[in-house]
A and B are shown apart, each in its own frame.
Chain A
Amino acid sequence: MNWVLVMPIAVPFATAVIVYLARNYPAGRWISLAGSVLSLIASAALMVAVLREGVVAAQMSNWDAPFGITLVSDYLSAVMVVITAITGLATAIYALGEVPEETERLGFYALFQVLIAGVTGAFLTGDLFNLYVWFEVMLIASFSLLVIGGGKERLDAGIKYVALNLVSTLVFLSGIGLLYGVTGTLNMADLRGAVAASDNQGLITVIAMMFMVGFGVKAAMFPLFFWLPASYHTPYFAISAVFAGLLTKVGVYALMRMFTLVFVGDVGFTHEILIWASLLTMFTGVIGAAAQMDFRKILSFHIISQIGYMTLGLALYTPLALMGGVFYLVHHIIVKANLFFVAGLAKQYAGSTDLNRLGGLYKSAPLLAALFIIPAFSLAGFPPLSGFWAKYLIVKAAIELDMWFVTFVSLLVGLLTIYSMTKIWGYAFWKPHPEGYDPTPDRAPARVTATMITPIAGLAAMTIIIGFFPEPFVQFAQTAAMQLLEPTDYVTTVLGVQP
C-alpha cells in the first residue's frame, strides 16, 4: 500500500486547506506549524521505509506502471523529502516572527504549505508529466509568495521570475512531448529501457538537451541564471530562505534524476556540456557576488555558484562525484536557508540589508554573529564544517579523473566564496554602524527575536553535526550515488510492484 509515499504530499495539502479557512484567526499560524511538524514526521516515516527496503514505490489509483502515476522514492528522493520538511518547519517557525498579520490574512501560510507540497511531490514522482505538474504547483505558489505583501519592487521581481520560469517550463513540456512521441511512455523507470532501445539516438540527445535547458533554468545554471538574483532579494526573508534552499534544488534534483536514469546513452556529449556549464555557473556566480553590496544579493549569487558544484558532481559522473553532489545538495539547503534567515534577523536589528548601511552587529548581537559564522564558513568550505566535506568529495573526484582545470576552478571558487563571506562579516558585523548607533536586539520585540533565532540555531547545529560526524551522511550519500548509477533496483521496483 505504501501510504508512506503519499503522506508527505497529502499532509501539506490538508494543512493548506485548514490554514486558509483559519487565516483570520491567530490559531491559523499554529495550525501551519503543527502541519509542518506532521510533514516532518511523515517524511521521517518515508525515510525509515526507504532505509529498510532500499527503494519504495506505489501506484496511484491502482493503475499499473507505466500507465498510471507512480510515486517512488530511493535514497536521494527520501533525503530530499526529509530536508524539505526540515526547511519547511524552520521557515514556519521563522515566519511566526517575521510575517505581519495582514499578510497572514492573505493566505500566506496556505500558499507556503502548497509550495512545500509541490516541492515534495517533485521529489517523489516517478512520472515525467506528473513532474511537470508539480513544477506548475511550485511556480504558482512561489509566484504568489513572491509578490504577497505588495510593493513595486516585488511585482517587478515577480514578473521576471514568472516570465523566465514559464519559458523553462515550456521547453520542459516540449521535451516531454517529443520524448513521448519517440518512446511512447513517460514513466521514468520505463523510459530508461525505452530510450536505450530507441533507434533514433540523435533525436534522444536533442531531447536530452531540451531537458537540460528546462531544468537548467530552474536550477539557475549558466547562462540562464539571471532570473534568480533579480527576484530573490525582494520577498519576505522567510520566503527567500525557502526559495534559496529548495526551489533551485528541485532543478538540480531533476537533472540528477534524468541524467542518471534516462539520458545516459551519450554521456560523453551531454555530461561534457554539463561540466562546462557547471564550471561557468560556479565562476560567474561567485564573481557576480563579489560585485554586490546587498546582503541578500550576495547570497543569491552564491546560490548560483554553489549550484555549479552540485551539477559538477553529476557531470563528472563517477560514484565519488555523484556522492559529493548528493552530499552537497543536502548540506547546501541547510546552509543557504540559514544564511537568508540570518540576513532577515540582521535587518531586524540594524534596519537594512545594504552592507553600506549595516554595521556594529558583532558588538551588539554576538550570538547572531556566531550563528552567521557557522553557515558562512560552511558555505566557503572551511573544515570541519559540512561544506568542507562536500567540496572535498567533489574536488577529490575531479583529481581522480585527472581533471586539473576542473580542480583548479573548484578551489578558486571556494577561495572567492571566502572573499564574499568576509566582506559580509567585515561590513555587517565588524565595522561600526554608519549612522552612529548600536543596532540593538531591543529594537525588535523579544518574542519576535526568539522565534527568528530558533530556526537559525537549529540549522546551524545541523551544519555542525554533519561537519563533525560526516561518516553516516557520507555513507548515505554513497548508497544514494550507487542507486543513481545502477538504477536496476529503481526500475524493477517501479515496474514490478504489484498494486
Chain B
Amino acid sequence: MNSIIFTAGARILVALVFVFSLFMLLRGHHLPGGGFIGGLLGAVAFIIYSLASGPEETRRALRVSPEVIAILGLGIALLAGLVSFFMGDPFFTGQWYWVGGDSYETAAFSINSVLVFDIGVYLVVLGGILSLTFAFEEET
C-alpha cells in the first residue's frame, strides 16, 4: 500500500497495539485477557506493519519465522503443564507462588506457571495467525 499517511501512522499504531497485546497477556487469568486474546492483538500489530511495509520487511522485523514462534509456544505451554509433575499434582495444575501475601487479594504479585502457559498460548496464536497471513500476502 503506497500511502505515506498510513505508513507513518502505522509506526505509532504498531507500537501501541503491540504494547496493548502484552498488557492483555499479563492482565489475564483473574481478569479478562490472557494469552489467546493477547496473541491475536500481537498478530494484528504485525499485520498492520506488513500492510504498511510488506511481508518481507515484517519477517525481518520478527527475526524468527512465525512457524518457529508457534511451535516454541507449544513447547512452552507443554512445559508449563509439566511443572506440576515435579510438585506431585495432576497435569496442568497451576503452581502459584505469592509474593507479599498468600492469596490473590493480599499478595502484591505472584510467580506462577499459569502465566508461562499463557505466554505459550500467546506465541502459538501470534505465530499461527502470522504464518497464515504471510502465506496469503506472499501468494498474491
Q: Is B91 an interface residue (CB 8 A)?
A: yes
Q: Establish whether residues A60 and B75, one from each chain, have CB atoms under 8 Å apart when the complex forms.
A: no
Is the interface on chain B under 10, 10 to 19, 20 to 34, or 35 or more residues? 10 to 19
The B-contacting residues of A in range 1-24, CB under 8 angstroms, are 1-3, 6, 10, 13-14, 16-18, 20-21
The A-contacting residues of B in range 89-110, CB under 8 angstroms, are 89-94
With contacts A17-B71, A21-B71 taken as known, whether A62 is within 8 angstroms of B90 at the C-beta atoms is yes
Q: Establish whether residues B67 and A1, one from each chain, have CB atoms under 8 Å apart when the complex forms.
A: no
Q: Establish whether residues B74 and A13, one from each chain, have CB atoms under 8 Å apart when the complex forms.
A: yes
Chain A residues closer than 8 Å to B88, beta-carbon distance: 1
The A-contacting residues of B in range 30-54, CB under 8 angstroms, are none
Q: Establish whether residues A59 and B90, one from each chain, have CB atoms under 8 Å apart when the complex forms.
A: yes
A62 to B74, CA, bound (A): 21
Type the 1/0 row for A96-116, where 1 means its CB is closer than 8 Å to any CB of B.
Answer: 000000000001001000000
Nearest-Cβ distance from residue B94 to partner chain A, whole angstroms: 7
Selected contact of A10 from candidates B67, B81, B90, CB within 8 Å: B81
Nearest-Cβ distance from residue A57 to partner chain B, whole angstroms: 11
Type the 1/0 row for B51-87, where 1 means its CB is closer than 8 Å to any CB of A.
Answer: 0000000000000000110011011001001100100
Q: Is the interface of A mostly helix, strand, loop or mixed?
A: helix
Chain B residues closer than 8 Å to A2, beta-carbon distance: 90
Chain A residues closer than 8 Å to B67, beta-carbon distance: 20, 107
Q: Establish whether residues B71 and A110, one from each chain, have CB atoms under 8 Å apart when the complex forms.
A: yes
Q: Is A58 an interface residue (CB 8 A)?
A: yes
Nearest-Cβ distance from residue B110 to partner chain A, whole angstroms: 17
Closest to A7 in B: B91
Q: Is A499 an interface residue (CB 8 A)?
A: yes
Give the total of A residues in contact with B, Cβ under 8 Å: 20
With contacts A21-B68, A107-B67 taken as known, whether A61 is within 8 angstroms of B74 at the C-beta atoms is no
With contacts A60-B91, A60-B92, A62-B90 taken as known, whether A17 is within 8 angstroms of B85 at the C-beta atoms is no
With contacts A16-B71, A21-B68, A21-B71 taken as known, whether A62 is within 8 angstroms of B78 at the C-beta atoms is no
A-B contact count (CB 8 A): 47
Type the 1/0 row for A469-499, where 1 means its CB is closer than 8 Å to any CB of B.
Answer: 0000000000000000000000000000001
Q: Point out which of A2, A10, A21, A61 has the most chain B C-beta atoms below 10 A from its C-beta.
A: A61
Chain A residues closer than 8 Å to B68, beta-carbon distance: 20-21
A104 to B86, CA, bound (A): 34
Closest to A107 in B: B67
Chain A residues closer than 8 Å to B74, beta-carbon distance: 13, 16-17
Closest to A69 in B: B92
With contacts A1-B88, A17-B72, A17-B75 taken as known, whether A62 is within 8 angstroms of B93 at the C-beta atoms is yes
Selected contact of A6 from candidates B71, B72, B75, B91, CB within 8 Å: B91
Q: Establish whether residues B82 and A10, one from each chain, have CB atoms under 8 Å apart when the complex forms.
A: yes
Chain A residues closer than 8 Å to B78, beta-carbon distance: 10, 13-14, 17
Nearest-Cβ distance from residue A385 to partner chain B, whole angstroms: 40
Chain A residues closer than 8 Å to B85, beta-carbon distance: 3
Closest to A17 in B: B75
The B-contacting residues of A in range 262-319, CB under 8 angstroms, are none
Type the 1/0 row for B6-24, where 1 means its CB is closer than 8 Å to any CB of A.
Answer: 0000000000000000000
A13 to B74, CA, bound (A): 8
A2 to B91, CA, bound (A): 9
Q: Establish whether residues B91 and A20, one from each chain, have CB atoms under 8 Å apart when the complex forms.
A: no
Chain A residues closer than 8 Å to B93, beta-carbon distance: 61-62
Nearest-Cβ distance from residue A35 to partner chain B, whole angstroms: 13
Selected contact of B91 from candidates A18, A21, A58, CB within 8 Å: A58
Q: Establish whether residues B72 and A3, one from each chain, have CB atoms under 8 Å apart when the complex forms.
A: no
Q: Point out which of A14, A17, A21, A107 has the most chain B C-beta atoms below 10 A from its C-beta.
A: A17
A14 to B67, CA, bound (A): 16
Closest to B94 in A: A61
Closest to A58 in B: B90
Q: 9 closest A-B pairs (Cβ-Cβ)?
A: A17-B75, A62-B93, A6-B91, A61-B92, A20-B71, A61-B93, A60-B92, A62-B90, A60-B91
List 4 additional contacts besides A6-B91, A17-B72; criterion CB under 8 Å: A2-B90, A13-B78, A61-B92, A110-B71
23 CB < 8 A contacts A-B: A1-B90, A3-B85, A10-B81, A10-B82, A13-B74, A14-B75, A14-B78, A16-B74, A17-B72, A17-B74, A17-B75, A17-B78, A20-B71, A21-B68, A21-B72, A60-B90, A61-B90, A61-B91, A61-B93, A61-B94, A62-B93, A110-B71, A499-B90
